[in-house]
Amino acid sequence: MANQDRLRVVGERVLHEGRSYDFVELSVDHPDGRRRTKPMVRHRGAACVVPILDGAGGPEIVLVRNDRVTIDRFLLEIPAGGIDPGEDPAVAAARELEEEAGYRAATVEPLGRFYTTPGLTDEMMHAFVARDLSFVGQRLEPYEVLTVEVMPWAELRRMLDHGGMGDGALIDGKTMLSLLLAMRAGVLPG
């Protein structure tokens, strides 16, 4: 596609500055010659981690059940959080694992990265796998309401197979994709 056929950002106005992200309004020139505004979230990036324990019956995954007020329900998720300015994504993933789930990893390895919701935000999520875990205790932020759950991979795999459908389904996008990436990489049995 030629450049003249693309949307072109010609300005940006910050509506609200936040700790982890900003709300902005873009001024965008469209191929039809009109200029329109587009609200979006400028994000500093995030990291998530698939923490694996060696269970007697096979791999077990450390998850958190997170109270997501934006959708008025608890979601079963892998630990995740924002990347601090200048912080390496792997360091952020290891930090979030300790803070949210209370585990320290001897190894943290990359699985991939992806945009979370490109129609709304430029947030880039960096996914990792963590192994050789030691329990050190949670260090939750005052605003976090979550509990730790350890689940057998076989059970999570069945939940993934339901594709977010039905009661008790796994429906958090970063969790679903990161587990699938770990399976495709051979980290979790397929």
Of 138 and 141, the structure prediction assigns the larger pLDDT to: 138
Average pLDDT value for residue range 2-31: 91
The model's confidence at residue 162, banded by pLDDT at 50, 70 and 90, is confident
User: Domains plus CATH for the chain?
Assistant: 3-43 (no CATH), 46-184 (3.90.79.10)
**Are 107 and 132 in contact, with CB atoms under 8 Å apart?**
yes
Active site residues: 144
Q: What is the pLDDT of residues 26-71, one digit of tens each?
A: 999 999 999 999 999 999 999 999 999 999 999 999 999 999 999 9
pTM of whole model > 0.85?
yes
Helix ranges, 18-123 (H): 89-96
pLDDT at position 144, please?
87
Chain centroid, CA 22 distance in Å: 18
Answer whether 46's CB lies under 8 Å from 36's CB: no
pLDDT digits (tens, 9 = 90+) for 114-129: 999 999 999 999 999 9
43-66 burial, b if ≥16 CB within 10 A, otherwise e? bbbbbbbbbbbeeeeebbbbbbeb
Query: What would the mean pLDDT of 97-117 be, rounded to a whole number?
Result: 98
